[in-house]
Amino acid sequence: MAYTITTNLLIFLCLISISKAVRNLNSINNQDESSSLLVDQVGICSLLIETQGYTCEEHKVTTEDGYILNMQHIPKSHDGTKADKPPVLLQHGLLMVDGGSWVLNAPDESLGFVLADNGFDVWIANTRGTNYSRGHTSLSPSDPAYWEWSWDELATYDLPASIQFVRNQTGQNLHYVGHSLGTLIAFSAFSKGQTLNMLRSAVLLSPIAYLGQVSSSFARVGADFFLGEGSSCWSSKRYMQDSRRPNCCMNSSMTGKFLEHEPHSTSTKNMIHLAQSNLAFYKLIQHYNLGC
């Protein structure tokens, strides 16, 4: 029961984000340029990593199509010992997370810190459109063209650029750890042979390829239309009531911190692409279907 409530809550939050996107067809959770600038000046290093006593560096990675992604580097353990093991790139999932998700918990419960304390050279990626990766060589987040992408572009541009950047900075092949959407873009990129020669290994957490196997009626119906176009179909009050009940699978003591740093934005096109994968007649990882 707890698992079902948690799943429904996450789906509900995703659909709420899609609903917002309907009112602004170009982006979800769009912010103005001054807000983006402030977020860029603060960054994950100062907010989440240095506050825990770790050394952290902010880097910028520019993709072939002009998106400027922020990347964090933890080069030392908490006691200041320099990493002596290969680099590890951590790639987050969708909407509720960005690179900060790897360092949100206590140091002994956050993978980014655990790896650093065990001698690994830790690099944290952030995909385009998230609060800390809203830069572009010629576009602003307020431009519709800025949001013209789906996970196709994340696999074609963001992931290869991030892996290549770490390879160039360290001179070493790296380990890749992806979560959720971070596994989907890895499957897509690896199937094209991109970046494989720069990797030592790939660890895929909560891996997804296509969503045809999803059994939740709520999720499958939600793939066919935006919440904003049929809000009467959803009993949001009931789902919000369910979320307040005791849940053994949620750490309620961390809820405030999670909500302080999440959720993050993505493009409407990306959500549509994921919804296409949830349709019963799709059984493959495939490019965005312009006719669907």
Give tens-digit pLDDT for 146-162.
Answer: 999 988 999 999 999 99
Least confident of 180-184, 263-267, 286-290: 263-267
d(CA 61, CA 159): 10
At 248 the pLDDT is: 66
At 193 the pLDDT is: 86
Q: At what angle do helices 2-23 and 268-276 cross, to 10 degrees?
A: 130
Beta strands 121-124 and 67-74, pairing class: antiparallel
d(CA 115, CA 20): 37
Per the prediction, the chain carries an average pLDDT of 78
At 209 the pLDDT is: 75
Is residue 105 predicted with pLDDT exceeding 50?
A: yes
Tell me which of 119 and 236 has the higher pLDDT.
119
At 205 the pLDDT is: 94
Is residue 14 predicted with pLDDT exceeding 60?
A: no
Residue percentage of the chain with pLDDT more than 90: 46
d(CA 211, CA 221): 13
d(CA 227, CA 205): 28
Amino acid at 122: V
| pLDDT tens figures, 70-83 | 999 999 999 999 99
